[in-house]
Amino acid sequence: MPDTDGQRHAAGGAISGGVAAGWEPVRAAFEDNFTNTDEVGAGVAVYHRGAKVVDLWGGSFDEDDSAAYAEDTLQLVFSTTKGVAAIALAICVDRGLIDYAAPVAQYWPEFAAHGKADATVAQLLSHQCGLYTVDGPITLAEALDWPTVTARLADTAPRWPIGTGHGYHALTYGWLAGELVRRVDPSHRSIGAFVQEELARPLGLDLWIGLPEELESRVSPIIPMPPITDPAIIEMAAKFIGPGTPGGDALTLNGAFGTMGEFGTSFNSRAVHAAEIPAANGISDARSLAKLYAATLAPIDGVQLFSAETRERARTTVTPVGESDNCLIVPTAFGMGFMTSTPFSAFAGPECFGHPGAGGSVAFADPSRDMAFGYVMNRMAGGLAGDPRAQLLIDAGVACAEVSDGR
């Protein structure tokens, strides 16, 4: 892929990388984010028809501008990790190790406690099981210990009758999906090991759930969301995502990861980076995320992660259209672990599947355009999805793809 424009200045550092001919508008949108938003350090990548057409990075490694945001910089991507876990589970489905329609307890017998015996894998992955937190208090140390947190979840009662609604399992989704991967994998690998051996190494990705200590210096620290000062917004936030609310408990695991006002701070710690939190602590870069999703559409470097049949099943929305999320209040939509397009997270349109992350990161595939997209950043914006910086880049990519396709 030729670098059509060389380096351009960004706040704190140069914009580096390249775009293929015809994809210059994505570079322009990336530059615009540094000029017109509070972007600090970021990366964006796009694959189209199996080829990498955008790979850009730039800005500052941290808020102090101690170094440039470089080609090898790594970034924690919060809930964008959920899509990685969904891909791992889909590989297991494709290999006949697990069936979306089967009861979870068929693979994880302890899960049957408290009336969950009939809950299906599909219901679990689409946030319909009412397990957005655990019963009782839990410490951060307990949450970072895989056997402890998964045992607690198996012994937790659903917060609503399973299948009667859905609510965002902001943290628990990853342990639930990851434990299923571990249970059905013939080698009983952790999901972190599974992702390394089945996704990252075959595709040559910088992608970890559970980061090795020797890579820690490459991780750009998350710059937390700006504090809320508007009294009306503070009141609304307390009502919907404050302590003791479904949203607040889901996003912090009953406060184990701090208050919503501290959201992001705990995720800069080495302990959190080292743990396996498949809903929230994936560490990667934009090009790896885009390449990963490209390999769900067609072979990339000889690797196709699963069949088209499995992909169609995994990306099909199963939550009722327009149904409000019991934790986030607004309507959301899910397939088999993937978020699908709604106004909450539109991606590039109705055919897309992927996942956004708190503060702005996002990765997805768009089968209708044979396009895959990844965006990562260190400066969190004040939202869980639909970040304007990412959407500007997505819109530019869509326009370029449609020109390339002659639409």
Catalytic residues: 79
At 250, list the tokens: 């889901």
* Residues 243-260: b if buried by 16+ CB within 10 A, e if exposed: eebbbbbbbbbbbbbbeb
Residue 247, CA atoms < 13 Å, CB-side half-sphere: 17
- Pairwise CA distance, residues 219 & 279, whole Å: 18
Backbone angle region of 346, left / alpha / beta, with phi > 0 → left and psi within -120 to 50 → alpha: alpha
Strands (E), 286-405: 339-340, 353-356, 362-366, 371-377
At 349, list the tokens: 């349109």
Which spans in 253-377 are helix H?
Answer: 270-274, 286-294, 308-315
At 375, list the tokens: 């965006």
Contact 133, 172 (CB under 8 A): yes
The SS3 call for residue 96 is coil
